[in-house]
Chain A
Amino acid sequence: MSNRRTFIKQAGSITIGFSILGPMACTTENKDLSLGEVPGVLTDPDRIDSWIRLLEDGRIQVITGKMELGQGLSTAILQVAAEELNTSFDTLSLQLAETGVTPDEGITAGSRSMETSAMSVRQAAACLREILFGLVVEEYKTEAEGLEMENGAVIVNGVSLSFAEILNGKKIEKTVFEPREYYGKTRRKFVGQPIPRPDLEKMVRGEAFYVQDLRFPGMVHARIIRPPAYSAALAGVDEATVSDKLGFVQLVRKGTFLAVVAEKEFQAVQLQRVLDGKVTWEIGEPLEQPEDLKAFIKSLPQDSNTDEDKGDWERVKEGGTLVKASYSKPWIMHAANGPSCAVALFEEGMLHIWCHSQGVYPLRETIAKMVDLQLEKVHIKGVPGSGCYGHNAADDVAGEAALIAVEIPGKHVRLQWMRNEEHAWEPYGTAMVMEHEATLDSNGKIKGWHYELWSDAHSTRPTSGDPANLLPGRFLEPSFGTPGQGWRGGAIRNAPPIYNTDAFRLTSHIYQGPLRVSALRSLGAYANVFSIECFMDELAEKAGQDPFSFRLAHLKDERAIACVGRLKQITAAVTPGERQGLGIGFARYKNSASYCAVAALVEVNDGLPVVKQMWSVIDAGECINPDGLINQTEGGMIQSASWTLKEAVKWNETHISSIDWQSYPVLRFKEIPKVEVEVIDRPELPPLGAGEAAQGPAAAAIVNAIYKATGVRVRDLPVGRISS
């Protein structure tokens, strides 16, 4: 803050002029990953300065309440701002989610960041431009026509005026309004271009970028002594087993929550290993070992609901050929490449946390409650971590670091999970059972469809402020318990097929399963679309039609037809060879976001499927960055291929037994398909969420291709080895 004070002193009236962007407009950017003081700026999303601020070095700070997860959000947000202000990236800087600094944009999830945050930034930037133009018109008695903005200045009759010169001490406070023009719609100099990601060079050079790279003077390292089971309680620990060891700082015990702190990171790891063998636990009920996943899931207590009932399914059911199929998917994990990590500091009554949470504001509320601090005494800064596209242990590790830090005031505490902890304790994407029945009329048209699904929760994010949603919450004394029944909306995402039918009924059963679960990329849409699109192929076969024609005959939405139609053109020349098959899948994500059609060419040798190539056509409305969209879609297909072919969480009667990359195999380089993505850009339309669109269609495309290659319908994931 001293910089800011000095600046205000020196700049005098110019500072007042900056108040157009709010009273705290001249913030000091956090130039590195470390925290500045909390500036305490207003974060009202209606204020222009909640999204755009001027920095004292003349640069413009673009602000988002969302997080960079590897999806390229930073670049796309900068692009929309650069467009409206007609400025190069060099004059811009980006502030990611931080409590008290950025607007509260909830969770970075659901492929919503372009639709929400980017559009807020776009509007604020366009408003700023029009305000500055208005001042110039007034002051210089010139026409608004012909005014240009360029790299942080307005060009008036060939003269370049900086924002400060234009403001000239004026104090104008404005909230966002509907601007007359969006350059993003009329000019598209930055928007719609494949602008390279500015953050990538840092990664390539090995510069500090991730939360894992944070270092502070005197920082200590913590590790958690994990219980052997979800149900375990800590019976006893003898501090003497480690207290004389090199580097030992402290044991932190709160109920069953047990952490060891050391001066050096590897010392903490060694102490964790020692304690792992010395601590005694009481283990509760063993985990059930189901032989038949579907029967097991259906046997669990469940909350049932008819979510949609259009037309008269019972009547339509009798009026044609009834086709039925039952599908399932197991629990699968995020399994980020880098285990979850956070740094926490408790100093002068303030708890500061650096972490890769996808929702710093909801997390702040939850942690404040857990450590019993007032909300304003907790400050969380989002720093990118290892990607995983979902709710992994990012929030848990932040909560744990906080619990430890409050016991060691004045010290930065860095906590990173080990591989076996990440695999065995993160919240998984839940197992689901998906059962479809539909009737076909004599013309091969679907008359009615009934879809019945079983699912555990798809989000136990700490959005309600309940510490039960953080892993340590349940282990504290007194315990905050475990999350209750989850959110139905995640399970039924994309459950209604996009295809036209006279009748459709959706029944969902939400159970509470034995494993910890939360949001994984696309939530229920992955399993729903997988099963719907495989079932569509089964129906097409019964109707005697090819998969493309059958889908097109049941679509009304022009954009859906264009998307599927384009995939058909692209793959028309593909001739599957011996033991090969070509399959397709399609969905509009959430039935309201991007349209995505996927084709897969799969070869099956001795029962082992290898995906040779995948193609995708995606319509995400207005595309902000085509290379970013392509990257997300390529990655979505490959990640989905890994889930579909290989992934399933395993456990024994005590706990999870998928604890590393050998016991939880994922797709590796030798098995990676070639991928091609084509974007249908619709600059005249709003942007649509796209980051999760490929997951379901890709799974169905692979499994449908396997059928073409082998004649075997795989209905239970993962595919594994095919026995014919």
Chain B
Amino acid sequence: METISLTVNGNPVQLDIDPATPLLYALREELQLNGPKFGCGLQQCGACMVLLDGEATPSCVLPIAAVEGKEVTTLEGLAGKDGKLHPVQQAFLEEQAAQCGYCLNGMVINAVSVLDANPSATEAEIREALDINICRCGTHSRILNAILKSRKS
């Protein structure tokens, strides 16, 4: 066990934890967060994505020791303190861009990361960036519409 310090959704966090534990398990089990989901544990599907120092990153393999001192934002941390949704989250609601919604975390997180880096990203660039994110219900077209919509706001 080691003590690892990091910032999660703006709050400093100290965890006494096996340093090999992937970030995902720490977020879900130690910090009771629901946003990041276990999908594959292989960095192939995007369900577990979080913003790591602002960049969308799969959390299912990354050992917690590797994020010492870093800033992690999960789906829960995107909304404002007043509860106001991030424009990407809002656009997902407006476009009803989900069916089962299990992939939604990764989709939103990745979209936020892409648009933060390039607010005028093209549809092709967004498709390229989200190629890692698997959806089995086939809601991709709505997700694309939502991201394109939030780009304007």
Q: A-side interface residues toward B, CB under 8 Å?
A: 69-72, 196-197, 199-201, 203-210, 212-213, 215, 246, 264-267, 269-270, 334-339, 384-389, 416, 418-419, 627, 631-632, 634-639, 642, 660-662, 666, 668-670, 672-675
Contact = CB atoms under 8 A, between A and B. Distances in A.
B99 A387 contact: yes
B76 A206 contact: yes
B138 A639 contact: yes
A204 B131 contact: no
B144 interface: yes
Contacts of A389: 136-137
Contact of A661 (B20, B38, B44): B44
Contacts of A196: 93, 96
24 contacts: A70-B98, A70-B137, A72-B99, A200-B93, A203-B104, A204-B85, A206-B34, A206-B35, A206-B74, A206-B75, A206-B105, A212-B38, A265-B28, A266-B21, A335-B136, A337-B45, A337-B135, A386-B136, A416-B38, A419-B40, A631-B139, A634-B138, A639-B137, A669-B128
B6 interface: no
Interface string B114-152: 000000000000111011111111111110100000000
A671 to B, nearest CB: 9
B134 A661 contact: yes
What does DSSP make chain B's interface, helix, strand, loop or mixed? loop
B145 to A, nearest CB: 10
Contacts of A212: 37-38
Nearest to B130: A669
Which of B96, B98, B101, B136 lies at the interface centre, i.e. has the most chain A CB atoms within 10 A of its CB? B136
Contacts of A199: 101
B127 to A, nearest CB: 5
A336 B136 contact: yes
Contact of B98 (A203, A334, A661): A203
B96 A197 contact: yes
Contacts of A336: 102, 136
Given A203-B104, A206-B35, 5 more contacts: A196-B96, A210-B37, A337-B135, A338-B39, A634-B138
Contacts of A672: 127, 140-141, 144
A634 B141 contact: yes
B47 interface: yes
Contacts of A339: 38-39
Contacts of A267: 18
Interface in B71-94: 74-76, 79, 85, 89, 92-93
A204 B99 contact: no
Contact of B128 (A270, A627, A639, A670): A670
Contacts of B29: 264-266
Interface in B24-74: 25, 28-29, 32-35, 37-42, 44-45, 47, 74
B108 interface: yes
Contact of B144 (A206, A264, A388, A669): A669
Contact of B131 (A70, A635, A668): A668
A669 B140 contact: yes
A669 B102 CA distance: 16
A335 B25 CA distance: 22
A337 B139 contact: no
B112 interface: no
A660 B38 contact: no
B136 A639 contact: yes
A31 to B, nearest CB: 16
Contact of B42 (A335, A419, A642, A674): A419
